[in-house]
């Protein structure tokens, strides 16, 4: 079984298009078609259903894709292990939620690039709900997650930091001077939230539901900066990690509500597959991550620890 054929098969399976696969691989389309036909002939089974101008994986193709991912990942690891046994080099593919990309990871990426310029870092943006699957299926070498504690039989999980989730409003909002804010106080208030599936949105909605409260007016964004700007403009109560709003709170642009509902805490965690070979590059990246997350900014710790006292 030819490795190039497997790589071509995987690209066709991911794009479900011979044309797009050829473009991605920098092949002419006839080369892609010939490689797939040769692989099907060798295995004596069709890997794709040709449905007019559309294609779809057959059951056999779906099974082969699982093995192709593993075989190609192992081939990459073997090449790196032999070629770069002593010095971090090669390629790392990582991902993280957008909020961590903006506020947590620049320091990690900057230090890693400075220390290991021979490593090519590839960042693959993806929705939070997809990250665990992408690590499990070998699409990512590792991922950062902002979630409740993760328990998995196939992933190694390193917890880096507990993150406090805050409710924030402009200083002139009626709730900004309240001594306590309960779920009942949120009833009827417009709330600005992240997309469905985000861990801290789920925690917040769960806390409201436990008190018999259901949101009636909300704005939903994927981007935490969009949420923050809407809150600054007075469009509602924002639900955001402390690290997203710490500067705005410190400079008086936002006030933290003294929440008295269920605890709203998540954890920054890094995950990789338990069977993943820890290349020198991946090990170095994990070490830098652990070192930098072990010494967060003091202001951030203070804000997260005492939200009710911040005005």
Domain with residue 140: its CATH number is 3.40.190.10
For the domain that residue 8 is a member of, what is the CATH number? 1.10.10.10
CB distance 185 to 213 below 8 Å: no
For the domain that residue 184 is a member of, what is the CATH number? 3.40.190.290
Q: Are 292 and 152 members of one domain?
A: yes
Question: How much is the pLDDT for 311?
Answer: 35
Query: 218 vs 31, 193, 223, 242, CA distance in Å?
Result: 51, 7, 15, 20
Q: Are 115 and 52 members of one domain?
A: no
Q: Are 155 and 195 members of one domain?
A: no
pLDDT over threshold 90, residue 8: yes
Q: Are 171 and 248 members of one domain?
A: yes
Please state the rounded mean pLDDT for residues 98-117: 92
pLDDT over threshold 70, residue 81: no
Query: 299 vs 233, 257, 296, CA distance in Å?
Result: 25, 18, 9
Write out the residue range of the structural domain in which residue 12 sits.
Answer: 3-82
Please state the rounded mean pLDDT for residues 300-310: 39
Q: Are 139 and 121 members of one domain?
A: yes
Per-chain mean pLDDT for the chain: 88
pLDDT over threshold 90, residue 196: no
Helical H segments across 50-127, by residue range = 59-83, 98-103, 105-115
SS3 string of 220-264? ECCCHHHHHHHHHCCCCEEEEEHHHHHHHHHCCCCEECCECCCCC
Q: Are 92 and 226 members of one domain?
A: no
Q: Which of 258, 249, 240 is nearest to 171 (CA)?
A: 249
Q: Are 142 and 276 members of one domain?
A: yes
Question: How much is the pLDDT for 79?
Answer: 75
pTM of the model: 0.68
CB distance 34 to 9 below 8 Å: no
Domain termination residue (choose one: 21, 52, 82)? 82
Q: Are 245 and 169 members of one domain?
A: yes
Above pLDDT 70, what percent of the chain?
92
**For the chain, what's the residue count?**
311
Domain termination residue (choose one: 82, 114, 131)? 82
pLDDT over threshold 60, residue 252: yes
Residues 282 and 288: their CA atoms lie apart, in Å, by 10
pLDDT over threshold 70, residue 299: no
Domain termination residue (choose one: 32, 55, 82)? 82
Which of 65-74, 81-90, 102-111, 254-263 bottoms out in mean pLDDT, i.e. has the lowest?
Answer: 81-90
Q: Are 99 and 129 members of one domain?
A: yes
Please state the rounded mean pLDDT for residues 1-20: 92
Residues 104 and 96: their CA atoms lie apart, in Å, by 10
Q: Are 33 and 167 members of one domain?
A: no
For 287, the token pair is 């070490």
Please state the rounded mean pLDDT for residues 242-263: 93
Question: How much is the pLDDT for 113?
Answer: 92
Which of 62-76, 79-93, 126-140, 283-297 bottoms out in mean pLDDT, i.e. has the lowest?
Answer: 79-93
Q: Are 94 and 144 members of one domain?
A: yes
Question: How much is the pLDDT for 197?
Answer: 81
pLDDT over threshold 80, residue 147: yes
Which of 157-166, 221-230, 295-304 bottoms out in mean pLDDT, i.e. has the lowest?
Answer: 295-304
pLDDT over threshold 60, residue 253: yes
Q: What's the total number of domains in the chain?
A: 3
For 157, the token pair is 């999980």
Q: Are 244 and 171 members of one domain?
A: yes
């Amino acid at each position: 079984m030819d490795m190039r054929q497997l790589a071509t098969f995987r690209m066709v399976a991911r794009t479900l298009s011979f044309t797009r696969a050829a473009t991605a691989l920098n092949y002419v389309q006839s080369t892609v078609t010939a490689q797939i036909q040769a692989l099907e002939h060798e295995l004596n089974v069709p890997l794709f259903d040709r449905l007019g101008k559309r294609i779809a994986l057959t059951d056999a193709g779906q099974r082969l894709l699982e093995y192709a991912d593993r075989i190609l990942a192992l081939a990459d690891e073997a090449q790196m292990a032999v070629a770069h046994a002593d010095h971090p080099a090669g390629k790392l593919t990582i991902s993280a939620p957008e909020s961590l990309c903006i506020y947590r990871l620049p320091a990690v990426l900057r230090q890693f690039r400075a220390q290991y310029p021979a490593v090519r870092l590839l960042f693959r943006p993806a929705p939070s709900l997809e990250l665990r699957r992408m690590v499990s299926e070998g699409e990512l070498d590792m991922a950062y997650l902002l979630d409740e504690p993760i328990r998995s039989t196939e992933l190694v999980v390193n917890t880096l930091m507990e993150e406090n989730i805050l409710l924030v409003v402009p200083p002139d909002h009626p709730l900004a001077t309240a001594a306590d804010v309960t779920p009942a106080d949120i009833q009827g208030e417009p709330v600005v939230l992240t997309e469905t599936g985000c861990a801290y949105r789920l925690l917040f909605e769960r806390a409201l539901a436990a008190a018999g409260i259901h949101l009636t007016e909300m704005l939903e964004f994927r981007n935490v900066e969009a949420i923050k700007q809407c809150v600054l403009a007075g469009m509602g109560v924002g639900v955001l990690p402390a690290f997203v709003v710490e500067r705005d709170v410190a400079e008086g642009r936002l006030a933290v509500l003294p929440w008295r509902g269920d605890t709203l805490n998540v954890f920054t965690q890094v995950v990789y597959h338990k069977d993943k070979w820890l290349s020198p590059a991946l090990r170095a990246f994990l070490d830098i991550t652990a070192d930098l997350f072990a010494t967060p900014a003091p202001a951030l710790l203070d804000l997260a620890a005492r939200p009710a006292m911040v005005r």
